[in-house]
Homo-oligomer: A and B are copies of this chain.
Amino acid sequence: MDEFAVLPDPDDPRLTRAVDGIDHEGRAIETAVVMERPLTLFLNGQEIVTMMTIGDHPEYLAVGYLLNQNMLRPDDEITGIDHDDELDVVVVRTRRETDYEEKLKKKVRTSGCAQGTVFGDVMEAFETVRLNPAAVLHTSWLYQLTKKINTLPSLYLKSGAIHGSVLCHADRPLIYMEDVGRHNAVDKIAGFMMLNGVPADDKIFYTTGRLTSEMVLKTVQMGIPILISRSGFTAWGVDLARQAGLTLIGRAKGKRFVALSGAERIVFDADPAAVPEEERRHGRKSGVTDDAA
């Protein structure tokens, strides 16, 4: 797959809007703000959820959401995905008959972001996953990945207030998705992987969001052995990562990072000292006080 085979399109007029305001000196300015729109997801005949999304990949979002909620199985045959742009509705149809009435009643408001729901059977599925013990992360890859991701034109650089997730292989970012909710960005990648048959066990997942229990659960469920974030950790996220043998790296800024699980996959092949002083200072400064997200 090509580097950045899927990437943000900050010039897409549906994704941001220019609005008038004033700055700190009282001067009139125009600035870009990110758009959010509702998308109601149906699985076969059943309404599952209404999500707020930037709306750029409704099919991937729909499939990824269902997968990550265990409402779609990896071996399910998808017979159709219909997106109606005017009604803001997406319908996923499967050969298997589905009914999640009971499941939809049981929701937990979670600590992280966007989604706010974890279903009990997600935990059950989590416990059956075996992550690839042979996967590795070279620190030189990590530095290349964060540099490439952070300098690519994105909605984040244009307007802020958005989360990004990137599926990577070695030092190459492959699929870069952004969304107002970080779980949407993750789900869009999960949907892309299923619909395009992308293997997970040799991949690295990068997210701008915090390493909460939900983020760890999803990464493990997707079968990806390495998760990197520039943000920090929650205790439950760390516990789950250790339980699953996930390599969990947070506070990755400049050349600094902290690994709290699965450090045996890390190959230290880069010299963190071999970077400009300015970059190191910046990294140190924002090391712990990361983006809460």
B116 contacts A117, CB within 8 Å?
yes
- CB of A232 within 8 A of chain B? yes
Nearest residue, chain B, Cβ from A20: B260
- CB of A219 within 8 A of chain B? no
Q: Which of A38, A107, A113, A117 has the most CB of B within 10 A?
A: A113
Docked CA distance A289–B23 (Å): 16
- CB of A208 within 8 A of chain B? yes
B293 contacts A291, CB within 8 Å?
yes
Nearest residue, chain B, Cβ from A286: B286
- CB of A172 within 8 A of chain B? no
Nearest residue, chain B, Cβ from A48: B109
**A29-81 contacts to B (CB < 8 Å):** 29, 31, 33-36, 38, 49-53
Docked CA distance A110–B160 (Å): 18
Q: Which of A17, A22, A112, A234 has the most CB of B within 10 A?
A: A234
* Chain-B contact segment, one of A128-136, A189-197, A251-259: A251-259
- CB of A24 within 8 A of chain B? yes
- CB of A198 within 8 A of chain B? no
- Chain A interface mostly helix, strand, loop or mixed? mixed
B235 contacts A35, CB within 8 Å?
yes
Q: Which of B26, B36, B232 contacts A268 (CB 8 A)?
A: B26
Docked CA distance A136–B82 (Å): 50
B293 contacts A293, CB within 8 Å?
yes
Q: Which of B158, B163, B256, B259 contacts A21 (CB 8 A)?
A: B259
B24 contacts A160, CB within 8 Å?
no
Nearest residue, chain B, Cβ from A180: B111
Given A111-B36, A114-B110, A268-B26, does the pair A234, B292 have CB atoms closer than 8 Å? no
**A125-173 contacts to B (CB < 8 Å):** 139, 156-164
Given A31-B258, A50-B109, does the pair A157, B21 have CB atoms closer than 8 Å? no
What 10 A-B pairs have minimum CB-CB distances, sorted nearest first? A116-B116, A161-B232, A160-B232, A52-B111, A111-B180, A291-B291, A21-B260, A160-B290, A33-B233, A36-B111
A-B contact pairs, 20 of them (CB 8 A): A21-B258, A21-B260, A24-B256, A33-B238, A33-B260, A34-B234, A35-B235, A51-B111, A52-B109, A52-B110, A52-B213, A53-B111, A109-B115, A111-B181, A111-B184, A160-B232, A160-B289, A161-B231, A164-B292, A180-B212
